[in-house]
């Protein structure tokens, strides 16, 4: 019965997401795009956080490199968007391989410090290397001419871009879900619960953690790439540690224990941000307070706490 109810809710949400551009004003289309992209970012972050149990404070590096790769290819080579996104994923995977190789060698404490440090290194490079990245001005003034694969759509229209984002994010989430459900995903969960025991089973924890980190980096870069046609600029802020804080908060807000928790968290996050920034400039202050309160008292997140209680009662 409860499973059926959940299914009904899920179908309704999907229908709502598909018809949104036809029923809602432009403002909500923009919010929808932001939620979808940041949701993908948060879900891929959660592969390493909620599933593998490693807290990364440097995921903006992958988001940023994906955004810059896409923006540069659009500006200088005028490639179709899908090709740019593919390169963005490859760049994210390569960067995650390097940073991950150095960061997964020790425990969670080192991992958190190292990901933040290497993340800020990427930010410093983006910010200072003016001849390539155009420094603090960022890369803008490009046009998205075509999507690729011979699909003819008007990408400049936000309603159309919303649907493009919806399809790509849905596909990416499906792949991530399959990864989480696979035996590989189960091993990651086992590592999160008891690394020593997994090691005693003869599995190399370091390899699994690195693989999870790399996959996570690739999907984060895809999210970053999708953000570029929407923002029409790739700026260093996309690689700053405050950007790394966003998927952390979304995962905590929604609940890191469920696959879609971070996506739900992204929805709450973007709506909260939209409301709060109309009242005060100090959005980061509110963010920090919410994060702290969630960690202290609602560690399972909003969706997580709800689902825990609701599913338990059966």
Partner 1 sequence: MSGIVLALLNSLDIGLLLFIIAVGLNIVFGVLNVINFAHGALYMFGAYIAYSCIAVLGLSFWLTLVVAPILVAALAVIIDRVMLRFIYDREVTDSLLLTFGLLLILNESVRQIWGTGIHVVEPPAGLEGSITLFSGVTYPTYSLFVMLVGLLVLVGLWYLFNHTRTGRVMRAAALDHDMAQVLCINTRLVVTGAFAFGAWLAAVGGVVAAPMRAIDPGMGDKIIIESFIVVVIGGLGNFPGTLLGAIILGLLHGFGGRYLPGIHLVLPFIGMAVVLLIKPRGLLSKGATS
User: Residues interacting with partner 1, by CB under 8 A?
Assistant: 53, 55, 57, 102, 105-110, 112-114, 116-118, 120-121, 124-125, 128, 241-242, 245, 248, 252, 281-285, 287-289, 291-292, 295-297, 299
Write 202-205 long-range contacts (CB < 8 A, 24+): none
For partner 1, the closer of residues 105 and 145 by Cβ is 105
* Cα-Cα-Cα-Cα dihedral sign, residues 239, 40, 308, 189: negative
Kindly state the smallest distance separating residue 230's Cβ from partner 1, in Å: 25
Q: What distance in Å separates the CA atoms of residue 93 and residue 180, rounded to the nearest whole number?
A: 18
Kindly state the smallest distance separating residue 192's Cβ from partner 1, in Å: 10
Kindly state the smallest distance separating residue 57's Cβ from partner 1, in Å: 7
The torsion angle over the Cα atoms of residues 67, 166, 147 and 80, rounded to 10 degrees, is 20
Kindly state the smallest distance separating residue 102's Cβ from partner 1, in Å: 5
Measure CA of the first residue to CA of the last residue in the chain; give whole Å: 9
Kindly state the smallest distance separating residue 266's Cβ from partner 1, in Å: 17
Kindly state the smallest distance separating residue 117's Cβ from partner 1, in Å: 5
For partner 1, the closer of residues 24 and 245 by Cβ is 245
Calculate ∠ Cα 57-58-60, nearest 5°: 120
For partner 1, the closer of residues 163 and 206 by Cβ is 206
For partner 1, the closer of residues 70 and 251 by Cβ is 251
- Could you tell me the CA-to-CA distances from 12 to 5, 18, 35, 54, 65 in Å, in that order? 11, 10, 17, 33, 35
For partner 1, the closer of residues 113 and 159 by Cβ is 113
For partner 1, the closer of residues 107 and 137 by Cβ is 107
Closest CA to 248 of 116, 122, 154: 116
For partner 1, the closer of residues 82 and 245 by Cβ is 245
Kindly state the smallest distance separating residue 30's Cβ from partner 1, in Å: 25
């Amino acid at each position: 019965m409860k499973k059926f109810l959940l299914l009904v809710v899920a179908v309704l949400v999907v229908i709502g997401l598909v018809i949104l551009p036809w029923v809602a004003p432009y403002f909500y289309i923009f919010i929808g795009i932001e939620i979808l992209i940041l949701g993908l970012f948060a879900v891929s972050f959660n592969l390493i956080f909620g599933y593998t149990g490693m807290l990364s404070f440097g995921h903006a590096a992958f988001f940023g490199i994906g955004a810059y790769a896409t923006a540069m290819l659009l500006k200088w080579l005028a490639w179709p968007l899908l090709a740019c996104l593919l390169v963005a994923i490859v760049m994210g995977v390569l960067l995650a391989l390097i940073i991950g190789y150095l960061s997964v060698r020790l425990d969670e404490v080192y991992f958190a410090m190292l990901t933040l440090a290497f993340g800020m290194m990427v930010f410093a490079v983006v910010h200072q290397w003016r001849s390539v990245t155009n420094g603090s001005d960022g890369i803008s003034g490009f046009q998205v001419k075509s999507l690729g694969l011979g699909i003819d759509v008007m990408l400049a229209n936000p309603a159309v871009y919303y649907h493009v984002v919806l399809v790509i994010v849905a596909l990416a989430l499906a792949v991530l879900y399959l990864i989480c459900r696979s035996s590989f995903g189960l091993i990651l969960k086992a590592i999160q619960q008891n690394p020593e025991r997994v090691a005693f089973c003869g599995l190399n924890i370091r390899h699994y953690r690195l693989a999870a980190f790399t996959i996570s980096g690739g999907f984060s870069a895809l999210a970053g790439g999708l953000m570029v046609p929407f923002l029409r600029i790739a700026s260093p802020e996309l690689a700053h540690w405050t950007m790394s804080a966003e998927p952390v908060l979304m995962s905590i807000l929604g609940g890191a224990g469920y696959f879609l928790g971070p996506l739900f968290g992204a929805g709450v996050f973007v709506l909260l941000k939209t409301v709060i920034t109309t009242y005060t400039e100090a959005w980061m202050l509110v963010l920090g307070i919410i994060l702290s309160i969630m960690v202290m008292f609602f560690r399972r997140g909003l969706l997580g706490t709800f689902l825990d209680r609701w599913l338990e009662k059966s």
